[in-house]
């Protein structure tokens, strides 16, 4: 099914927080993440419980919502399969796509802990989610 063009238009450049849902042993875990989206793949950098869950069960869900003054404008739900990469080159490339969206283009102004993603030993892993299906509701 993939990602319909109407959903892509909503999520592609939106400077919004996404919520990544993972589940292991019947226990869901939802956490906010920054993301980049390109051609059916949503990318996030992460560590901790989200990463551990994805390594055990790569099937994930993502929810993104845009609202103004507490009023929802649109909501998108994405379902897909995640793959993990710890290769520094891939993590660095993803960081350079994700962070400017939220922090601006000047890497020198980014917090130190985020600039660590640009080293040869980044502290987070890259998770690429191949979107299998997506829906959106515009209000």
The overall pTM is greater than 0.85: yes
Euclidean distance between CA atoms 109 and 91, whole angstroms: 19
Q: Go through the domains of the chain in sequence order and give each one's CATH number.
A: 5-138 (2.30.110.10)
Which range, of 40-49, 50-59, 64-73, averages the lowest pLDDT?
64-73
What average pLDDT does range 8-26 have in this prediction?
A: 92
Euclidean distance between CA atoms 66 and 74, whole angstroms: 6
- Containing H/E element for 15? none
pLDDT value for 1: 62
| Contact present, 85 and 45 (Cβ < 8 Å) | no
pLDDT value for 2: 82
């Amino acid at each position: 099914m993939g990602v319909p063009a109407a959903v892509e238009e909503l999520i592609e450049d939106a400077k919004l927080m996404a919520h990544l849902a993972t589940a292991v042993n019947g226990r869901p875990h939802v956490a906010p993440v920054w993301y980049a989206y390109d051609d059916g793949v949503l990318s996030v950098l992460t560590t901790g419980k989200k990463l551990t869950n994805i390594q055990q069960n790569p099937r994930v869900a993502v929810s993104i919502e845009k609202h103004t003054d507490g009023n929802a404008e649109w909501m998108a739900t994405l379902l897909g399969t995640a793959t993990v990469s710890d290769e520094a080159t891939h993590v660095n490339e993803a960081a350079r796509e994700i962070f400017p969206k939220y922090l601006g283009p000047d890497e020198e102004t980014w917090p130190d802990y985020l600039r660590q993603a640009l080293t040869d030993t980044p502290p987070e892993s890259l998770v690429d989610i191949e979107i299998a299906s997506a829906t959106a509701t515009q209000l």
